[in-house]
């Protein structure tokens, strides 16, 4: 008798659980395995987006995390070879697992090239379905993002006590530098532009400005929008010294998104950024890059209770008074109270009032906490790339 048909001669029976999620406090959630047959561990967060699960699970900013989707129907449009956000499409983003309410259904999109379950298997990502994700989300909302172990075994054989012990001893996300897991290992050039229906991805023809992007775990669509804005894009590893970046004569520097504790990454990233700011190189940061800029000017970052993960976040641009609907993915935030006098808060979350953007008054630099390259608005925030280009155009190139 298969799991899909649990009826037996004695009546209806629950099928044997083939996956479990064990939280650090000893809570055990049973369900049915999907994806890779393996055991994985990480910090459990929830994402409220109704679409874009492939982009979410290939976003390097989720490295070290198990993603719980609040929307029940995940996997229903399958996967394809175009909606991957990791620069290396064959590599994992570092996400540790996925938690779903409903089982995966057959793909229903004309763009699908692979079933979601097969896609998870190919990437080595385990998952669990049949979970009360509303209850798990409420737990995270009230108590914070817990560490957990996710195990998938088709035979349903689990050493629960051992899993509890492992979950209880997992390290906190605080203090972890996860950028080395996802950042570039060597320099490369980028010229791909955004996808268009009937055309696919394009190529930048000419470039008017040279941008050096420091890769802490950059998403493809960020690089595409920089290329579309007419920028020659050179991507460099996260530990690249300021001297090497300046030697490339950039018109501007981009600080990318990425995972982990910004204070830990800042140990090597902040000195580089400070030197670039001293040279007054136009600088634009997104997500972790926003936090790196904040740390570089002397602000502090703090761990959030449940973080911001979703595509329905309202953010107010204080410079224009407009409200944008944005995508977010972060578990740390810049503490507004610690911003120095030469930094102004440009954007603020209308959910909780947390800082979502800063601009310096004495140097050409700004950043946002959210993802303007994503499309929940759908293009509410693309203007930020234009702001960056305008900032570069006002400055003489580095000799």
Which 3 state secondary structure label does DSSP give 357?
A: strand
- Residue 82 is among the residues annotated as catalytic for this protein: no
CA distance 374 to 328: 9
- Residue 287 is among the residues annotated as catalytic for this protein: yes
Kindly list the distances between the CA atom of residue 9 and the CA atoms of 156, 224, 328, in Å, as whole numbers in the listed order.
22, 58, 50
Q: Which of 290, 309, 347, 371 is catalytic?
A: 371
Straight-line distance from the first to the last Cα atom of the chain, in angstroms, rounded to the nearest whole number: 73
* Dihedral over alpha carbons 42, 43, 49, 55 (to 10 degrees): -40
* CA-wise closest residue to 211 among 200, 199, 224, 198: 224
**Beta-strand relationship, 252-255 and 283-286:** parallel
* Dihedral over alpha carbons 207, 59, 56, 366 (to 10 degrees): -60
Alpha helices by DSSP H, listed for 234-282, are 242-247, 262-278
CA distance 382 to 38: 39
- Burial status of residue 15 (CB atoms within 10 A of its CB: 0-12, 13-18, 19 or more): middle
Q: Which long-range contacts (CB under 8 A, 24 or more apart) does 300-304 make?
A: 300/334, 300/335, 300/338, 301/261, 301/262, 301/263, 301/332, 301/333, 301/334, 301/335, 302/332, 302/333, 302/335, 303/173, 303/174, 303/261, 303/331, 303/332, 304/330, 304/331, 304/332, 304/333, 304/354
Q: Which of 30, 43, 324, 373 is catalytic?
A: 373
- Residue 373 is among the residues annotated as catalytic for this protein: yes
* CA-wise closest residue to 179 among 108, 96, 93: 93
Q: Which of 287, 308, 313, 356 is catalytic?
A: 287
Catalytic residues, by residue number, are: 287, 371, 373
């Amino acid at each position: 008798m298969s799991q899909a048909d649990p009826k037996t001669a004695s009546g209806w029976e629950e099928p044997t659980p083939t996956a479990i999620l064990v939280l650090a406090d000893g809570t055990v959630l049973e369900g049915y395995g999907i994806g890779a047959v393996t055991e994985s561990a990480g910090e459990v967060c929830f994402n409220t987006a109704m679409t874009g699960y492939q982009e979410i699970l290939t976003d390097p900013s989720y490295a070290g995390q198990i993603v719980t989707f609040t929307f029940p129907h995940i996997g229903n449009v399958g996967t394809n070879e175009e909606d991957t956000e990791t620069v290396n499409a064959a590599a994992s983003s570092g996400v540790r697992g996925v938690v779903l309410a409903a089982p995966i259904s057959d793909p229903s999109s004309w763009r699908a090239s692979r079933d979601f379950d097969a896609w998870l298997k190919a990437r080595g990502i385990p998952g669990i379905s049949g979970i009360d994700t509303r209850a798990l989300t409420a737990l995270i909302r009230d108590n914070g993002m817990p560490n957990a172990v996710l195990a998938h075994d088709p035979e349903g054989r689990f050493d629960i006590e051992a899993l509890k012990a492992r979950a209880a001893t997992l390290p906190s996300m605080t203090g972890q530098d996860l950028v080395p897991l996802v950042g570039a290992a060597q320099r490369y050039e980028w010229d791909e532009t955004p996808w268009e229906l009937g055309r696919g991805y394009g190529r930048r023809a000419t470039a008017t400005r040279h941008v050096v992007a420091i890769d802490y775990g950059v998403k493809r669509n960020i690089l595409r929008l920089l290329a579309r804005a007419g920028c020659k894009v050179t991507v460099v590893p996260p530990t690249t010294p300021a001297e090497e970046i300046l030697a490339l004569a950039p018109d501007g520097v981009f600080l990318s998104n990425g995972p982990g504790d910004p204070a830990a990454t800042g140990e090597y990233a902040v000195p580089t950024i400070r030197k670039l700011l001293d040279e007054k190189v136009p600088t634009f940061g997104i997500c972790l890059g926003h936090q790196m800029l904040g740390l570089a000017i002397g602000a502090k970052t703090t761990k959030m209770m449940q973080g911001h993960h979703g595509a329905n976040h309202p953010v107010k641009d204080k410079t224009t008074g407009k409200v944008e609907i944005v995508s977010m993915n972060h578990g740390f935030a810049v503490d507004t109270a610690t911003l120095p006098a030469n930094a102004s808060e440009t954007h603020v979350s209308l959910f909780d009032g947390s800082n979502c953007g800063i601009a310096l008054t004495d140097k050409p630099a700004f950043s946002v906490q959210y993802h303007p390259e994503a499309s929940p608005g759908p293009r509410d925030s693309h203007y930020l790339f234009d702001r960056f280009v305008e900032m570069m155009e006002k400055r003489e190139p580095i000799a």
